[in-house]
Amino acid sequence: MKLENQVAVVTGAGSGMGKAISLLFAQEGANIVAADIQPDGVQALIDEGKGAPGKIVFKETDVSDQQQVEDMIDFAVGQFGAMDILVNNAGIMDNMMPVAELDNALWERVLGVNLYSVMYGCRKAVQVMCQKGGRIINIASVGGLNGARAGAAYTASKYGVVGLTKNTGFMYANQGIRCNAIAPGGVETNIGLSMQNLSEFGLERTSVCTKAMPRQGHPEEIAHAALFLATDESSFVNGTVLTVDGGWTAF
């Protein structure tokens, strides 16, 4: 087992990539705090993970709330005595809104869930990990590497995640903390449910890129990349972004 005696906190664990990452990490022996705003998906994860060597426990958390993110990490340390791995995964889409159609409420919601959350998590994780090291894995997006994979708020939030990842990785490299991001391409998950009232203009503009996508990925393909970043197999990988997109951004 690759993660025996490790403790991982995974946000957005009730669906999609967070669920796949939690399940794979538990199968590799890690104890998991599965954080999400909604309990149903995590209950399904707990049921699926019953035979795994690692234990999965639910912690209800809205990642856009600083106090709840800090409580989530304190909960992991209280429950399992440590936190070795943090996966900042929870995220939402932005209805493909270009800037002229973007209202402040959507901007603030997307930045809160996708970016502020990652800062809250990284800050608290580094404080906990600075004694014995650890690994932080931020789920960014190809939308954090290219300008037209989503709307303005999502794109800005994921560029922010990439910057935060690089800064954190470098700053704490000598404390044994590695901080990396994954930039997935299109992956079959439930993230479409976070979209309503799509911008027709934004959709039409981004469709130029969507047409070049070789295929959609499966959440498990992202989970295997996360596992690589969570183990010593990636011991010299720090402060960088691993693109996992089937070749989409190679276009």
Which residues form the catalytic set? 154
Closest CB to ligand NAD among residues 31, 64: 64
90 C-beta neighbours (distance < 10 Å), count: 28
Residues 70-89, one symbol each (x = binds ligand NAD by CB under 6 A, - = not), give -------------------x
Q: Are 62 and 92 in contact (CB under 8 A)?
A: no
Residues 207-246, one symbol each (x = binds ligand NAD by CB under 6 A, - = not), give ----------------------------------------
Piece of 1-9, 71-79, 129-137, 188-196 that binds ligand NAD (CB under 6 A): 188-196
Residues 149-168, one symbol each (x = binds ligand NAD by CB under 6 A, - = not), give --------------------
Which H helix or E strand runs over 243? Answer: strand 241-244
Interface with ligand NAD includes 16 (CB under 6 A)? yes
Using CB under 6 A, which of 9, 25, 36, 96 touches ligand NAD?
A: 36
Using CB under 6 A, which of 121, 160, 169, 184 touches ligand NAD?
A: 184
Alpha helix positions (H), the chain: 16-27, 39-48, 66-80, 104-111, 117-129, 152-171, 200-210, 219-230
Interface with ligand NAD includes 203 (CB under 6 A)? no
Sign of the torsion angle spanned by Cα atoms 92, 96, 100, 101: negative
In degrees, rounded to 5, the angle at the alpha carbon of residue 65 between the alpha carbons of residues 64 and 71 is 125
Alpha helix positions (H), 52-103: 66-80
Q: Are strands 56-60 and 7-11 parallel, antiparallel or unpaired?
A: unpaired
| Closest separation in Å from C-beta 79 to ligand NAD | 18
Phi, psi torsion values for 11, nearest 5 degrees: -95, 155
Using CB under 6 A, which of 37, 97, 179, 242 touches ligand NAD?
A: 37
Piece of 14-22, 169-177, 201-209, 224-232 that binds ligand NAD (CB under 6 A): 14-22
Interface with ligand NAD includes 11 (CB under 6 A)? yes
Sign of the torsion angle spanned by Cα atoms 133, 137, 138, 140: positive
Whose structure tokens read 């973007």? 102
Which H helix or E strand runs over 180? Answer: strand 177-184
Question: If DSSP codes are grouped into helix, strand and coil, which group holds residue 186?
Answer: coil
Closest CB to ligand NAD among residues 53, 228: 228
| Closest separation in Å from C-beta 80 to ligand NAD | 20
- Binding residues for ligand NAD, rule: CB under 6 A, are 11-12, 14-18, 36-38, 41, 61-64, 89-92, 113, 139, 141, 184, 186-187, 189-191, 194
